[in-house]
Structure 1
């Protein structure tokens, strides 16, 4: 049986019902994560916004965002990672509770720092 992570990479059968969020808020050191690798930037940012909300509702103070290193395009530039980094600095991201980020996994992922759980 394929892992959840492997199954999420392909979006041939995506019905839009999955926010891409893969994690829990069990209080451990492992941050929940979302794999955006291979998605178009617009879809990736939509899913990222949903995952940030899900992570905060579940009480996480961080979210690991897998973008890949981005060297697989004609210009050898990290398109998706650059778009995600830019989004983290926007008003939309701030309103959703993103405080900042740091690169991890040799540049193939970003660890977002999140505000405390939103009040209900």
Structure 2
């Protein structure tokens, strides 16, 4: 056998293992493809298992579906505020005549019926310490009335007994007439929580302020 023939035989012998490896790879690829297809089939079968078990299903028409309401802001009690403001205005009238209820000796004072004159004397002398003050300077009439009403309610609720209300002497009013001073007196007389009031001492505001004694609070 010639060298050329011997080389051809060796080449064919070398191709045998290569062919076997190619065959094994094709078989492995085919096996992997079958496994992938079987896995896909199992997933699809599991997805449709319930439908296959119960058969055809007709969906029910929705009845009164629940509708989620959007969250709304807290309501503003407008009517309640109006009612309170109206009640406040009605309870402190500008037309109320207090001339017969005020003592106008050396200094102005008021005491509710049943309250002895010693109360106003003690109030004027500073027997009760002033616990809080309301300054009405610069307020319009309606603003001052509302501020005074709120101040008295809060003072009564917190158990205060003696407060001072500064209304000014009215020197800046038209005609230098103390309009707010007169109205504050009228309003205080109409409030049941007010037992008495006196004109403040000079060091406490004099003719521009009143010292007010309140009924015992609700604490």
TM-score bracket, shorter-length normalisation: 0.5 to 0.7
**Residue 158 of structure 2 aligns with which residue?**
58
Structure 2, unaligned runs of 5 or more = 1-127
In our comparison, the structure showing a higher alpha carbon Rg is 2
- Determine which of 131, 134, 147 is the counterpart of 1:34: 134
1:89 Cα deviation after fit: 1.6
Q: TM-score of the superposition, structure 2-length normalised? A: 0.38
Correspondence for 2:199 among 91, 98, 103? 103
Query: 1:113 — aligned with what?
Result: 213
- Gaps of at least 5 residues in structure 1 are 1-27
TM-score if structure 1 supplies the norm length?
0.67
The equivalent position to 2:173 in structure 1, one of 73, 76, 88, is 73
Displacement of 1:106 after TM fit? 1.6
The CA deviation at 1:46 is 0.6
Q: What is the CA distance between 1:29 and its match in structure 2?
A: 2.4
Aligned length: 88
> Structure 1 residues 88, 30: CA separation in 2 closer, same or farther (over 3 Å shift)?
closer
**Which structure features the higher share of helix residues?**
2
CA deviations 1:70-112 (Å, max 9, x no partner) are 111121111111100011122xx11xx1112111122111111
Q: Go from structure 1 to structure 2 and tell me whether the alpha carbon gap of 1:41 and 1:61 turns closer, same or farther (over 3 Å shift).
A: same
- Please give the root-mean-square deviation of Cα atoms over the aligned residues, in Å: 1.6
Which structure's residues are more often strand, by fraction? 1
Secondary structure of the residue aligned to 2:196 is: strand
Greater CA drift, 77-86 or 56-65: 56-65
Partner deviation per Cα, 1:12-41 (whole Å, 9 max, x = no partner): xxxxxxxxxxxxxxxx92320111111011
